Structure 1
Amino acid sequence: MVKKSSLMSLFILLIILASCGSNQETVTYYLDNDPLLEKVTITAEDNKIIEHTIKNTINYEAAGYESKEEAQESINVPDMGNLQGIDGIETTATFEDDEFVYGIKYDLAVIDPSEVSDDLQEFLEEEEYWDFEIQVQELEDLGFEKKEE
């Protein structure tokens, strides 16, 4: 009898702890502006954004380039030098066989706003930037479509 009540108490405690846990959600949105495909992935915990990733892809053929080399000569690679070496920010820019891919990932749990430029610091300090629902609505207002991964 004591064993049953102990197991029942443990079961109830586990249910209570599970219901008190954080609510984490990840969404991915796409916007196809041929030849540019934009992908935005946002992860939030309790409606506060903790990770924000942007990946842009330009298909060479769709953009009118006959080769990777022609694309390399014509595409202006975004200058992300001011973001290099900052903890919590990862940048990529690569010319692959069929497409140019560039992106940026912000791990907001790691970024120290004092290490970033004034413009980015000001942006990170805006409350709306951290609000998951506001950011999702802004993406939808811009024409992004939610996709299940």
Structure 2
Amino acid sequence: MMAGTIKKLQVGRYRAYYTCGSDPTRIRHSHITVSKRAGEAWLLEQEQMYGGNMQSARNCYFIDYFNSWYQLFKAPIVSAATKGTYKLTFQHLQKLIPKVKLSQLNRTLLQSVFNQLGHNYSKETCRKHCIQVKACLANAK
């Protein structure tokens, strides 16, 4: 059983709680953040690190999931040039769909994002962004 909750503290900060498992070997962590969104991103990292299910991750913002996925899976193994491409993809997504949750993503929305990018960037740049987003979403299943 996996659970993650976020509670607001009196000092204006948030405490995120992550629990995975129910037997004596369960994992329990807590983390204090300055915003609820940062707490959700931390919970997502914990779920990915400890193999939790993706149900609660679907309620997080896609750009937070993309950034967390990149840091966990791609940053340690890709070259410096590829890291630059991932960062550019993140910046473009942050401008175009900053408040879209993972559960709200669909083919139509993503196609409109890539169409908007196509007006200002080359076909190759859009293709690279598309490949990276597809890889991220394949991992989110």
Q: TM-score, normalised by structure 2?
A: 0.26
* Larger Rg over CA atoms: 1
Higher share of residues assigned strand: 1
Structure showing the higher helix proportion among its residues: 2
Higher relative contact order (CA 8 A, sep 6+): 1
